[in-house]
Every structure is written in C-alpha cells, then in structure tokens.
Chain A
Amino acid sequence: MDIFQYIPNLSLLYPEIIVTVLALMVLIADLVVSKKRKVIIAVLAILGLLVALLSCIPLLGVNKTTFSGMFICDPFAMFFRILFLVIGVLTIFISIFYIAMEKIHLGEYYALLLFAILGMMVMAAANDLMIIYLGIELMALSVYALVGFLKHDLKSNEAALKYFVLGAFTSGILLYGISLLYGETGSTNLGEIQKSLIAGGSSRTAVLAMILLIAGFSFKIAAVPFHLWCPDAYDGAPTSITAFMSVGPKAAGFAALLRVFVVALLPLKEEWTILLWVISASTMILGNVMGVTQTNVKRLLAYSSIAHAGYGLMGLVAAGNVITISRSGIEYTEDGRMGIYMVMFYLLVYTFMNLGAFGMVLLLRKNSLRGDEISNFAGLAKTNPFYAAAMTIFLLSLMGFPPFAGFVGKFYLFTVAIQAKLYILAVIGVLTSVISAYYYFLIIRAMYIESPKESFQLIQSKSLVFALMITLILTVLIGLYPSPFLNFARESIFKLM
C-alpha cells in the first residue's frame, strides 16, 4: 500500500491557502498599522486576492480530488473560485471610502470579508457534504459579524441578530438533512451518494433528507419561503456588505446547490424538480410583487435579489427535467448541461450588475444622508448625468433588458426553460419580469423626472468609481459580446457532468 496516497495534494488548494494566510496577515497587520492608515490593509487584501487569482491560472482545466476525495479541484470549482475572488476585490474597492465614512474602518472588516470569501471558495470546491457544511458555516459566521458591523446602529444590530438566529436554525436543518442522507447511503461523499441512490432507488428517508437540504440551501440563496431574513438583513447591514451579500453568499449557495443536486441527489430528480419548480415560481412571484411597494432602494434591491434567485432556480429545474437517468447510468445531454451553465452564466452576469447597482447606492451616502431611499435619487440625472446613466444601465440590465448583460442571462434562462418544456414556469418568469420593470423604473423615474430636493455632492472615492467602471463595462460588454463568458461557463461544467 502506498502511504503517499494519504498525503493531501496541497497544490490543488493554493487559492484557499493563500486567502487563509492573507486573512491572518490582515489581522496581524491591523495591530501594526495606525488607525488613520487602514487603507494599507485594504491594499494588502486586494494584492493578496490578486495573487490568489494568479494562483488559479495553473489550476484551470485540472480535475483532481484530494483529502481522500473530500476536496475537488475541477473547472466547476475554478469558475466559482475566480468569481468569488473577483467579488472580493470589487467589494474591497467599493468598501474603502464607505467604511471610513461610517467610522468602521477596522482591520477586522477585511479579515472577516476574507474569511467569508474563503468559506465560499471551500463550498465551491467541496466534494463532500461535511466540507460543504464547513464552508457554509465559515462563510455564514463571518457574514453575521459583518452585518452587525455598524456597532452603533440599532438597525444593523437587529439585522445581524435576525440573520444569525435564522441562519443558525437553518444550519441545523441542513445538518439534519446531511445526517439523514448519511444514514441512508452510508457516505457523505457526493459521488458515493449518487452511486448508492442509483443502486438503491429513492427511499422516503432520502427524499426527506433532500427536502431538508433544499431548505438549507434555499436560505442561503434567499429563495421563498426562506427569504424572510433577506430584506431586513440587507437593509440593516453596511451597504458595502449588502452588496457583497447579495452576490457572494448567494453565488456560493448556488455553487453548493448545483453540485449537490446535479451530482449527489440526481437520482432523486423526479422529486426535487417538482419541489424546486414550486420554489422557483413562488420566489419569482413573491420577490417581484413585494418589490413593487418598496421605497427604500436597499430593500427594493433585496427583493430583486430574491427574485433573481428564482430565475436561477429555473435553470436548475430545466436541467433536472432534461437529464435522463437509468440503471445503466446517467446521461447528461448537451441540453442538460446547458441548464446548469446558464445558471452559472446568470450568476456571473448578476454579480456585476448587482454590485454596480449597490455601488451607486454607496455613491449617494453622505454623512447627513443615508442615500438609500428612492427619493434620494431624485434629480440625479440633472446633477450627475453620467452616474444616472450608469445606474439606469444597471437597472435595465437587472430588468433583463437588451442590449445589456442581464438580457443575455435571462434570455438563456428562458431558453433552457422552454427547452425543458417548462412553459408555465417560463410564462411566470415573463410576467414577473414585467412586474419587476415597474419597480426598477421607480428609481429611473426618480433620477430623470423628479427634480433634486436638496443640492448634494456625490462622495469622491476613486476606488468606488473604479469598481463602478469595471462593473459598468462588463455589464455592457457581456451584453454585446457574451460568447467568451458563455464558453467559460460551459467549459466549467464538463468535468462535473
């Protein structure tokens, strides 16, 4: 017996290792750097994340497992690792000025952010339910703390407590599901679970475990009916963290969800497609309908982000409907793959446009003005036509309007839904898109038609503007020429399926 097979291949984990070391370095540097020069920590964090991004390059195309099959480094994991690192960089860019203004410019902020990113990366690269749980907890605990980071703001405290209590409760449910699944199949490894379920067929225990897992993941991606924390937490959290939460943990939740359901629980697809169909439909309906009555931009975007989770789930349901499974094995057709990678493409697109929209909310933050009411946007087109146009582009893109990135994303999600003959779900998606157009237009209307109530100046932050420009360019570019991004998403799932 070769003893070396038990020594983990750490080279597959370089990005995670770098982020871990970086987070620790940030904590130590925080002790050294004086209070007025915390920007150095931000720069350190950004550089570290860029190094982690560089370390991803040699891993592209690799498909290996390590730690006895608990970790996997495949293109699917790489897609999300890169996405999370980019989210991390952009979040730090939009945070620097904002947290200084909120007087929370502390080293812990960056450290917690990095640990959250680490948790997300672990979730994406996990090939074992225990590791997924580990990643979820690492991410969630960091984000709970970040939501409550505005120590003197009661709203922030309330949001953190709500998020924490509900989150801890769902973690328990998730863990219960994992344990049931382990009892049923005798393994926590995703591939082993799949084999065992194919061999044994679906049992009631397995279905119950699947339902519990759906509950756990739905909480992370804020899908109805596990969305209740979302508007409050988004509203109370520091806006930069809201921006991060709306894209990072959501994408990580989707990463784990996709891997668990497309690999481990695929034999139960008859059951989970029905359940996810209902969740997807109700998420789209509720998210968009509730968005209509909002007057606060952060809450409005929270409901919009709930709705977007529904659109994403549509792709997963479609994939589940198309993939065929028999005793002899699983047949992932091209159509089935399409469902999955369109979800991933949508997450990619959603990341940029949503970060951009929240970046605009940050731009309006003044000491006297929270900047997150729709009325605060009044007359922005007169005072700052460029930023008004940028916000309009982000909102149109979120609406799924051509020629912006959101359109391509939504277009292909409808495509896969039609392909899987999910006509009713597609019609629901279409109708709710029309509803969403209404509330996105509330902001556009405020910017272009109402006149400014008081004279205000936008905050002057080069890093924020830089992040906005990147998201803006990508939102437009992916809309006009999506093929490289589509191909990236498509190639990322080949080894998975």
Chain B
Amino acid sequence: MDLSYSPYLDNAYSYINQIGFPILTYITFIPLLGAIVLLFVPKKEEGFIKYFANIVAVVDMILSFFLLPFFNTNTYKMQFVEKFTWFEMKSINLQVFYFFGVDGISMLLVLLTTILGFLAILSSWTAITERVKEYYIFLLLLQTGMLGVFFAMDFFLFYVFWEVMLVPMYFLIAVWGGGPRKLYSAIKFFLYTLFGSLFMLLGILVLFFNHHNLYPYEYTFDLFKFLQDSLPYSLEFWVFLAFFIGFAIKVPMFPFHTWLPDAHVDAPTAGSVILAGVLLKMGTYGFVRFSLPLFPTASRNFIPMIAVLSVIGIIYGAMVAMVQKDMKKLVAYSSVSHLGFCMIGLFALNPQGILGSILQMINHGISTGGLFLLVGLIYERRHNRMIAEYGGLSSIVPVYAAFTLVIFLSSMGLPGMNGFIGEFLILLGVFKSSYLGWIWAAIASTGIILGAAYLLWLYQRTFFGKLWNPKNFNLKDLNAREMATLIPLVVLIFWIGLYPKPFFKIMESSVTHLVERVNPGYKAAQVAQAKGSVTQIGNQKAGIKTSNTSRTGESSGTSETLVLPGSKAEKARVERGFQTPSQLGSGDPNLSGFKKTSFKENLWDRNVPPIDLSKGRIFSSPPLANGRLIGFKAENSNPLRSN
C-alpha cells in the first residue's frame, strides 16, 4: 500500500511522517496480513503454519526495531505520524481520521508488544497441538489489535482497536485454555472489559460534543483537538470517572481485578504472556495517554482515591499471591500487586514517578511474561501447576532453575535488574510528590518485601529440598527453542537493570511535557526550590489552587454559551495558557524552525513567570509558548508531495 498516492493527501489535514514511509501501518497490519494468508493454508500443513506465523512475528519485530534509529528523543511530539481521513461526512464536516503516531510514552510499549508477541508465538510451538491454524490466526489478530491501540491517536480508531483485541483473546482462553472453568473465565474477561470500555465510549462521546460545542462546525475524534478544548469541571469529573472504569478494569486495579486470576489461570501460556505482558499495559497506557493530559484537574483531585486503591492492590495482591497453591494463580496475583505500583507511580504526577511507572510497565511485561513462560514450560512437561507437586527440581533441571532464578529476582526487584530501577523510581516519585508523600512510599514499599517473600518461598518449595516426587524424576531440561524464548528476556532484564539510560532518554521529553500539562506547579516549584526561595514555593502552591478554581469557573462559563473559533473562547484559552495545536504535538519534529538547542533552553532555563495572585491565576506560560508556531504549514505538511 503506497500511501503517497492516496487521494486524501489533497486534504490539508492529511499528513505523512518524516521518513516518508508508513512504517507504523506496516508494523500494525503485517500480523493481520499474515493471519489472512494463513486463512488460505490447508489445516493439515501444521509445520508450515508454525514457521509462517513465527516468520511474520519476527519480521514485525525487526520492522519495529527500525523505529529506533529514526526516533527523535529530543521532542515530546508525535513521530512517524500518518494521518488521513478514514471516512467522513463532508456535509456536516464529520471526519474520522486514520491517525497513527508514536511518542516517548508509547515507543517502548510498542517494542515490548512486538517482542512479547514473537516470544508468545515461539513458545507455542509444541504447547499447542490442536486447531493449530486457528490458534496462530487469533494470535496474529491479537497482535494487530494491540499495536493499533498503542498507535491510534484518533479516538474512534483507538476504540476500534481497543475492542477488536477482545475477540481473539476470548477465543484463546476459551478454546486453547486449560481447566474446567475456561469458558466461564473467557466470558468473564470479555464482559468485564466490554463493560469498562463501553463506559469509556460514553466518555469519548462527551469529549466529542464538548469539542463540537466549542467549534459548532466541526465533528472530530482527534485526540489533539480534544487536548486543546477547555472542559468544564462538572463534565471533567464524570468523564474522568468513565475513562477510569474502562482503564481500571483493564489494569486491573483493586476492586476490578477479579477477572484477572481466572483469565490467567485458564489461558494457554502464550495467552497469559500476552495478557500480562501487553493487555494489562493498555489500562495504564490509557491513563498516561488520555486520562492525565485530558483531565488534569480531575486527575489531581482523584489522586487520594487512586492511591488508596493502588496501595490496597499492592498489598492485597501480594498477600493473596503468597497463599496460592497454583503457580499460575500466584503469578496472576503478583501482577495485581505490580500494576498497583505502576498506578501509584503515575499519579505521583512528577517525572520520576511517571518515568518509573512506564519503565515498570515494561519491566512487568518482561518479568511476568517470563514467569508465565516458565510456568508454561513446566506445565507442558507435567501438566500440573500445583506447587505441592514439585520440590528439589534444581538438581534435575539446572538450566531451567537458573533462568527461573534470574526472572524471579528481576520480578522482586533485585538491584542490578530491571525491576529495581522501576520500583525505585516509583517510590522516589511517590516520596517526593507534593500530592502523596513519604507515608505512601512507605506503605507501598511493603509490597516489595511481600513480593520477595512469595517469590522466594515459591522458589524454595519447588527447586530446593529433596527431589521426592517420582513423577519429576524424568523431567527434561530446556531445549534450544525454549531457551531462545527466555534469553531475550534475560538480556533485557540486565540491560535495563544495569544501563537504563537509553530507555529513559526515549521517554524523557514526552514525560516531562506530560508532567507540565497535568501538574503545572511542578516545574515552577522545582526552579523555585533551586533558588532556595521558600516564599515562592508557598506562593506557588497557593497559585495552583487559585488557578484551578479560576479555570473551572471560567470553563463552565464559556461552555454554556456557544463560542465560535477565533472569538472569546479562543482568546480565553490562550490567556489561560492553553497550548496552540502546533505546540501540542502531532507535528513533525524535524521540520524547519524547530531547533534542538532552543527547545532545551526554553524547557529548563527560563525564569519562573511572575505569579499574579491578585488576579487569581498564574501566568505560568507553558513551555515552548514563545510565540513560535510550527505546524501543518503548506511547505511542510507533506514531504512526499514535492516529489
């Protein structure tokens, strides 16, 4: 598909990325293409199907690696943007975009998805013996759905991918799962997630009409247009809640977590790996990508609730994990605990917390994905996952024991491995956060201790002691293929643990920008602190509060009266320090007029703007608001057009 010849490029809104190659489209749809090809392969050619699915996954993974050299780490904007009209109703100016992009927040998650997707497919080689063809088709479809979720920047498109993913996962659990309750687990997973996502849909529609009320002649689902809208707090509150239900079920946060152990226990190994490694991340990704920037005030106001739920999740998940008899269930509950860390880190609303949280998402994908692979390997041999069946395994399967140890240690956050970096940053962020504080960090850190307890205890019970069970006497150690599924994870574990800098570099700009949006007081407070001026911090804190109230007051005022673009509403938004479209991203970072140095200077070295308390608002003009507009200029809008 050569997008450069698309007729939609004549539309001013259409846009193709800097490298002139729709790489995100390829990454997303190669698995789908593979699935379609597999449809036409006869069922009996199982060998060919396996090889083919693996090759598709490898190609997809390698293609996703090509994003890295072109990725500009100095900008928070969307990169590799592809934007076309998907369908439209010209008469009422309704446009639904095919809008893909990637930034520092989603970049690592995309790589995680392609890597885990490949490992999941590779790990199924001998585990799946029946209905092989359908199995691989569903796995590849799932891969397309997941990648689409991370790339889509148009809410309609996002929602399509978000839902599409459920069906293959349902089938993976219901058809290839083990256990007598697999049908129950599958439909439970499906209905829970559908329940949440439909509420999210209603939230999306409210945003859609909020935008439509501000701009009566425009109907759009473009995320970046929503980001510029002012949303009255009365709506923001409810829409945040609607999104919260959708994402919190997916994460899953504490009271919504009950589908997770069921789904994990009954899913096949590959399904569990994908479920834990990627699907849960969609919930947290949703919070970072949508909830925080779209509803900054509500996000700040909901921190207490989310912190309480996260901490309950951390401790409850760990304690329940400790008493499990089934290894897979243990790992499932440990996910609840780890995702609690991710959530509390996000809502620390400072760069440390959010960086740590995103990194912890990656870590959890690697470690827990690894844990499920390990459980799957032993299950494939013994068809039993009960801890009581094992003991003394290290003497008979030493390689397996070694890999298990590494991944266990990574999961419990041993220094030098990936888990440590993520958890440390999260705790640091929570500790320093002006919304949470040391007490929350202290409570959350008990989760790490409990994590060490249940994992080490599990290790002790299965690998140490005497090899007593005669059924285990003939266990085979790992073969080359099985090691191949684990080695990449081990490499990543040590890489992130020992040299995490490249990973942070990818995320940094985007996260800093996000923090400035959701927590505008943060940077000012930082600078003030550096100057040692205590009074200014006080002012700053007071300023935040007044600015919040003034914003809500004003917003509700403007939204009731319909305001045309370019009129009062627009001015009010600029006054309030809202950013212009070009500043908010989706532009091309490599365009002219965007210099790296000036960006850095502006970001860090600018003086704190004066706080005018008499007017009840701070003119903390956000970063980059130095009057320079970069956006869809005619000469820049499409590099390909000049050819």
Contacts and interface: CB of A to CB of B under 8 A. Distances in A.
Interface string B87-115: 11111100000000000000000000000
Given A434-B194, A437-B194, A334 B92 contact: yes
Contacts of B160: 402-403, 407
A401 B193 CA distance: 13
Given A437-B194, A449-B183, A414 B164 contact: no
Contacts of B397: none
B619 interface: no
Closest 6 interchain pairs by CB?
Answer: A402-B160, A418-B205, A430-B198, A483-B87, A434-B195, A402-B163
A486 interface: yes
Interface stretch (B17-25, B167-175, B361-369, B456-464): B167-175
Contacts of A338: 92
Interface range on chain B (Cβ under 8 Å from partner): 20 to 34
A220 interface: no
A427 to B, nearest CB: 7
Contacts of B87: 481-483
Contacts of B92: 334, 338, 490
A231 to B, nearest CB: 24
Contact of B164 (A334, A402, A426): A402
A401 B163 contact: yes
A419 B94 CA distance: 14
A387 interface: no
Given A338-B92, A407-B160, A483-B89, 4 more contacts: A426-B202, A441-B170, A441-B187, A448-B171
Contacts of B194: 433-434, 437
A456 B174 CA distance: 24
A133 B171 CA distance: 49
Nearest to A382: B131
A334 B160 CA distance: 26
A483 B159 contact: no
Contacts of A334: 92
Contacts of A418: 202, 205-206, 208-209
Nearest to A411: B201
Contacts of B159: 402
Interface string B445-478: 0000000000000000000000000000000000
B191 A433 contact: no
B84 to A, nearest CB: 13
Contacts of A482: 87
Interface in A400-424: 401-403, 407, 411, 414-415, 418-419, 423
Nearest to B200: A430
A491 B91 CA distance: 9
A438 interface: yes
Contacts of A403: 160, 164
A474 interface: no
Interface in B205-231: 205-206, 208-209, 212
Contacts of B183: 445, 449
B237 interface: no
A487 B91 contact: yes
B205 to A, nearest CB: 4
Contacts of A437: 190-191, 194
B199 interface: yes
A396 interface: yes
A445 B202 contact: no
A292 to B, nearest CB: 11
Nearest to A381: B134
A419 B209 contact: yes
Nearest to B212: A419
A334 B194 CA distance: 31
A414 B205 contact: yes
A419 B209 CA distance: 6
Given A414-B202, A445-B183, A449-B174, A490 B195 contact: no
DSSP majority for the B interface? helix
With most chain A CB atoms within 10 A of its CB, the pick from B171, B198, B199, B206 is: B198
Nearest to B187: A441
B387 to A, nearest CB: 29
Nearest to B216: A334
Contacts of B191: 434, 437-438
A430 B89 contact: no
Contact of B175 (A431, A448, A487): A448
Contacts of A402: 159-160, 163-164
Contact of A448 (B174, B187, B198, B209): B174
A345 to B, nearest CB: 11
Contacts of B89: 483, 486-487, 490
Nearest to A419: B209
Nearest to B206: A418
Nearest to B156: A411
Given A430-B201, A430-B202, A415 B171 contact: no
A418 B211 CA distance: 13
Interface in A469-497: 481-483, 486-487, 490-491
B327 to A, nearest CB: 25
5 contacts: A414-B202, A419-B205, A431-B195, A483-B87, A483-B88
A427 B163 contact: no
A415 B164 contact: no
A426 B190 CA distance: 20
B258 to A, nearest CB: 16
Q: Identify the interface centre among B174, B190, B194: most chain A CB within 10 Å of its CB.
A: B194
B89, B191, B212 — most chain A CB neighbours (10 Å): B89
Nearest to A414: B205
A383 to B, nearest CB: 12
A282 B174 CA distance: 32
Nearest to B209: A419
Contacts of A419: 205, 209, 212
A441 B198 contact: no
A472 B202 CA distance: 28
Nearest to B217: A334
B208 A415 contact: yes
A396 B164 CA distance: 10
Contact of A401 (B86, B167, B174, B208): B167
B88 A430 contact: no
Contacts of B91: 487, 490-491
Interface string A381-400: 10001000000000010000
A244 B149 CA distance: 39
A385 B137 CA distance: 13
A271 to B, nearest CB: 26
B436 to A, nearest CB: 32
B85 to A, nearest CB: 9
Interface string B5-44: 0000000000000000000000000000000000000000
Contacts of A423: 202
A414 B201 contact: yes
Given A415-B205, A415-B208, A490-B91, A441 B190 contact: yes
A434 to B, nearest CB: 5
B615 to A, nearest CB: 33
A420 to B, nearest CB: 10
A481 B86 CA distance: 8
A418 B202 CA distance: 7
A338 B175 CA distance: 42
Nearest to A403: B160
A112 to B, nearest CB: 39
B570 to A, nearest CB: 22
A40 to B, nearest CB: 38
B174 A445 contact: yes
Contacts of A396: 167
A322 B319 CA distance: 53
Nearest to B207: A418
Contacts of B201: 411, 414, 430
Contact of B187 (A381, A407, A430, A438): A438
Interface string B176-203: 0000000100010011001100110110
A155 B92 CA distance: 50
A204 B129 CA distance: 71
